[in-house]
Amino acid sequence: MSMPDPAIRFDRGDGLHLALRMTGGAAPAILFLPGYASAMTGGKATALDAWARRTGRAMLRLDYSGCGESDGRFADGTLARWRDDVLAVIDACEGEVVLVGSSMGGWLALLVALARPDRVRGIVGVAAAPDFTAWGYTEDEKLAILRDGRLQKPSPYGGTEIVTKGFWQSAEALRLTHAEIAVDCPVRLLHGESDAEVPPWLATRIAERVRSADVRTILVKGGDHRLSRGADLALLVRTVAELVEGL
């Protein structure tokens, strides 16, 4: 088995280094944004990277601060901090990007597009989960976060999921779906019909709120939250390729 390419160490500007992997090629570059407590080595990111290499498309993958191979503590991470990680990478690069965001990465993709409308040419959300602090936790869990400073609960993928009060407060301040989302680039939303973590109705809510006239939602029959089956990955690659070719 071949070893993955070593990560590039990128200084955010404050001495903290983010781990990046880059594939050179044609613009606009694909920038993959992982989900909460996830990393750039997952199946969706690597499937897109393989496609980019085959087709000569530029691609960037990163681990947010405190995640994966990047510096920092996960407990210090907030939605605003991770958004700023992405913005620092975009600002250090040339050219336009297409953002592919998985779960929380879909929330970040919308926030980044709002902050850099001149740089973001398109968005593909995979089970995009904006505002999950509003609908993803019970009232008891929300109270525990505020009272105890963090919530620990079993992750559906093994181990323990930790949500800190700092993340919670940052995310609550960056909620989007209560009003128009002033994003004008093409948006594609893939969502599993059987997603037990992010409700499928949210894809429709995002589509309604985004200002762009070029928005499509694709509901995947039998698809779960990860959308990582072979057919799901093929759909993701095809969706990204069609969006890029239409720009």
Concerning whether 195 is annotated as a catalytic residue, the answer is yes
User: Both tokens of residue 195?
Assistant: 């997603």
Cα separation, 158 vs 99, in Å, equals 28
Q: Are strands 187-192 and 215-220 parallel, antiparallel or unpaired?
A: parallel
- Longest CA–CA span in the chain (Å) reads 51
Distance CA 41, CA 4 (A): 9
Single out the catalytic residue among 49, 85, 131, 225.
225
Concerning whether 191 is annotated as a catalytic residue, the answer is no
The Cα–Cα gap between 227 and 98 comes to 20
Q: How far apart are the first and last CA of the chain?
A: 37
Catalytic residue chosen out of the listed positions 38, 102, 103, 170: 103
Known catalytic residue at 225: yes
Q: Would you call 239 helix, strand, or coil by DSSP?
A: helix
Catalytic one of 49, 85, 131, 195: 195
Tokens representing 176?
């989007």
N residues, the chain: 247
Can you tell me the distance from the alpha carbon of 21 to that of 124, in angstroms, rounded to the nearest whole number? 19
> Looking at the annotation, which residues are catalytic?
103, 195, 225
